[in-house]
Every structure is written in structure tokens, then in C-alpha cells.
Structure 1
Amino acid sequence: MKIEKNEYGEFFERYVKLSNNTLLVDLLRSNAKEMNDLFEGLSEEDALYKYEEDKWTLKQVFGHLVDTERIFNYRALCVARGEPNALLSFDQDVYVDNADFNAMPISKLQEQYNATRQYTIALFSHFTDEELLRRGSISGYSFTVRATGYVIAGHELHHLNIINEHYLPGLTQ
């Protein structure tokens, strides 16, 4: 099902564009396979790589993906249940700065990722059609529940593209 532009905020369009027109649960599963292949191919040293000084390490990117997915799951649940209050933005850099992802073994990050992804699939698989179309205020934008799922998937695809374009080439040199 195609998500319409009026179902999410303008800032999030780049993520929805990457994920739209694919069944959400299928996309979440295929993304998870790609992420798990990536996790399993990295050493602890590789996972600490960053392609520029002011960029996050791969471990920090993985932690950011988990945190963001958890936040969007919470937002989806709130909107699905009819939360009347606006849900605020979050500062991704503050979250990464206050989590010591670099000290976590890659296997623990993978465990956190997989547990979060299983929850996401279960959550979105059980929303009714009516719940998926409910609207709420997220980061100052009107959002449908289903659009939050496509933001999760598209945000991950965005970072997978960055990993493939900027991180992995630096690891193979």
C-alpha cells in the first residue's frame, strides 16, 4: 500500500521514499536479513570504524538504529491508541552521546537489534486497518500509524546505503 504525503512530515519524506510500495512486514524482514549479514561479517575492530572523524562508528550507527526504531514503535503505539498529546522530537546526537555503544560487544548490539525488530514486526502485524490509519502529532507533523512503520524501514535503508557507500569501502582497503 502506498503511503500518501499527507501521512507524515516533510522531513521524513526521504525515508518513506526509500520504503514505500513494499509490504511493510516484508521490508522489515528483508532489512533485518541484510543487517544481520552485516553484523556477522564484522569484527569488533571493524565495528569501531568511522569514515570521517566527526562521524559515528558503525556500533554507534547500529545503536542509533535500535534507539530510533524503539522511539518510532512507541510513537506508533501512542497514535494507534488515540494519544491526544503531541509527541515530541528527540535529539539523535544526545542519545548516541549518552549511550556507550562502542563498549558493547557487536553480538549484544545484534541481540538488541533483533529483539527490537521482532517487536516491531509483531506490533505492526497486529494493528487493525483502522489503527494503521489513525493520526497523531509527531514532531509537529500529522502522522498515520502506518507511516511510522515506513519511516522505521526507510530510516534503516537510508543508513544501510550510507554504510555500503562510506563505511564498507573503508573496511576493505
Structure 2
Amino acid sequence: MSEIWTLRPGAEEYAPYFGRYINLVPDGDIRATLREQMDSVVKLLAPLREEQANYRYAEGKWSVKEVLGHMIDAERIFAYRLLRIARNDKTPLPGFEQDILVQYGPHAHQPWSDLVEEFQVVRSSTLCLLRGLNAESLARVGTASDMPISARSLAWLTAGHELAHLAVFHERYSAVLV
């Protein structure tokens, strides 16, 4: 059973664009990777003060709060897609516009500690969803953003998307990271 969690999705299981994220994820059990990421993100971001969380590295760029809010929103969407595809729902799933979600989302105005907690809750929910899946469920392929994608790929995409944004945190937001 554990080998299903270490099986990296093949390139035929997702659109080429998503390879940029999936390829960032180290080999290993994707559930363990997602759990470890949750711990490392909380350790990195929870100590920030409110003014640090409002930091933008340039005019018009997302604040730390907005980046974390984007990560939360994207994970919710990826998990929803994963659920639908794993349950063999063949209904095509629409794309989403990240800038609109950030612009109209509440993240910039929420207390920082609430956002960190929300990230943990969303990640815990994703991990609970994964617990109920088997090899057949993970291998199912559906359509999202007009492209084929497997349930397995969505789990790896979740981890890779976070890794990409953590790199941005370290590169662009290092002035406020503890």
C-alpha cells in the first residue's frame, strides 16, 4: 500500500505546465512530504509579526499575507479537484484566476495568526482526504482547466506549488523572515 504514495506521476498524467511544480517535489511518500511541509511552513511563518506579514517586496506585489492566502486558496482548489477526480466524477473542472482570488480574498485584512491556522487546517484536511484513497483512486484522470490531470498529480502539484512559493519567500521576502 505504501508504494502508491511514493509513485511519482508520469508526464502523461498532467499538463506540461504543472511539471514545473511537480518536478520540485523530492522522491518519497507524498503524504509525508505534505506533513513535513506543513510543519516547516508554520515554523517559518508563524513567528512573523503583523507588520512583517503585511510586507511587500515591491509596489503592486503580493504581501506575505496574500502569498500565504494564495497558497491556501490554491490548495483548496487542488484538493477539490483531487476529490472529484478520485471519486471518478468526469465533469470537467474549470480553471481559476489567482489574481482575482487574491484581490477579492480576505487575506490582506485577516489577523496573521488566523492565516497561519487556516493554512494548517487546510493542509490537515488535504491529508485526511488522501488517507481515504487507494491506488485506483489516485490513478484516475479527469479534466481541469481543459487539460487532463490525475488525482495523484494533484497531490504532488499541491506539494510542488508550495515549494515554489517557499522559494519566493526566501528570495523576495527574506527581509522579514526570522
Please report how far the alpha carbon of residue 22 of structure 1 lies from its aligned counterpart in structure 2 after TM superposition: 2.4
TM-score by length of 1: 0.95
Runs of 4+ with deviation above 3 angstroms: none
Q: Which runs of 5+ in 1 are unaligned?
A: none
One of 78, 98, 102 as aligned partner of 1:72:
78
Match of 1:171 in 2: 176
Identify the structure with the greater helix proportion.
Answer: 1
Percentage of matched positions with identical amino acids: 35
2:93 to 74, 87, 90: 87
One-letter amino acid matched to 1:58 = V
Structure 1 window deviating more from structure 2 (148-157 vs 18-27): it is 18-27
CA contact (8 A) 2:139 2:150 kept: yes
1:100 aligns with 2:106: yes
Tell me the CA shift for residue 88 of structure 1. 0.9
C-alpha deviation, 1:104, in angstroms:
0.6
RMSD: 1.1
Aligned partners of 2:71 and 2:107: how far apart in 1? 11
Taking structure 2 as the reference length, what is the TM-score of the superposition?
0.92
Residue segments in structure 2 that go unaligned for 5+ positions in a row: 1-6
* In 2, Cα distance between equivalents of 1:142 and 1:159: 24
Deviations along 1:96-145, one digit per CA (max 9) or x if unpaired, are 00112121111100111111011111111211110000010111111110
AA partner of residue 144 (structure 1): S
Counterpart for residue 132 of structure 2: 126
Deviations 1:4-44 (A, max 9, x none): 10111111111100115221111101111111012222000
Match of 1:138 among 107, 124, 144: 144
Distance 1:171 1:20 in 2: 27
Name the structure 2 match of 1:15: 21
Determine the C-alpha separation between the residues in 2 that align with 1:29 and 1:150.
Answer: 13
